[in-house]
Structure 1
């Protein structure tokens, strides 16, 4: 998988880093992430050198970077990925 480290991206635009983000997906899924560990997340844009499409659960995926904690057979159904990301908003406290 190829992508952008979320913390690196956010530090280009925010100081300090936002404590809450709302992630919205193309299938109307929405979640607010609060007080989370920025170091462990990657915005995935491509897999096997191919850009992600909606058919591939793209165009963006928010994926945990420390995947070595999970057995490889569980990665297909990994619960800490957000697929089909279409919008990331900073939630004002």
Structure 2
């Protein structure tokens, strides 16, 4: 193959890659704002009953502000939210034995043991409402770490963030 032909082949492939990259970027620019719009609600599922609570409603409910060391950020963070146990009783009438969480990145997990006043639903951090970029719009954290080592992230693997929906498992 001649140098001129190699140049033409390279140019054609480069153009295709640029077009594909541009199309991907355009798609992200369209889809990400839509995800952000939809990230303005929390979906609660209890059997056949499905409800959506707006972020604004939960921001108004946030009655507790405290500062704690966030092991994922490696710094003290002011958090605002509400006691999760009380929220569950208000929304489901009781504390379900297990909850199934689905996050905005499609991660899902089922966990039990929520009858604990140490768990807080966080909706704001350092005075700003949580967004998808800040692991929001809703995040579950423990207010008291007990004797756990904040330098071992494995000890905080039950924190749940980017919460899109919570399903009661009776």
Q: Using structure 2 for the length normalisation, give the TM-score.
A: 0.47
* 1:8-54 per-position Cα deviation (integer Å, ceiling 9, x unaligned): 111113333211110110111111112x1422211110111110111
Aligned position for 1:38? 115
Moved over 6 A (4+): none
Change in 2 beyond 3 A, CA 1:32/1:44 = same
Structure showing greater Rg: 2
Aligned position for 2:127? 49
What 5-or-longer segments of structure 1 have no aligned partner? none
What 5-or-longer segments of structure 2 have no aligned partner? 1-78
Does residue 3 in structure 1 map to residue 98 in structure 2?
A: no
Higher helix proportion, which one? 2
Q: Using structure 1 for the length normalisation, give the TM-score.
A: 0.81
Aligned position for 1:15? 93
State which of 100, 106, 115 in structure 2 corresponds to 1:28: 106
Does residue 67 in structure 1 map to residue 145 in structure 2?
A: yes
Three-state SS of the structure 2 residue aligned to 1:62 is strand
- Asked if the contact 1:26–1:86 (Cα under 8 Å) also holds between the matched residues in 2, the reply is yes
Q: Distance in 2 between matches of 1:8 and 1:47?
A: 21
Calculate the aligned-residue CA RMSD, in Å.
Answer: 2.0
Q: Distance in 2 between matches of 1:16 and 1:44?
A: 20
* 1:51-70 per-position Cα deviation (integer Å, ceiling 9, x unaligned): 01111111111112222433
Three-state SS of the structure 1 residue aligned to 2:106 is coil
Aligned position for 2:136? 58
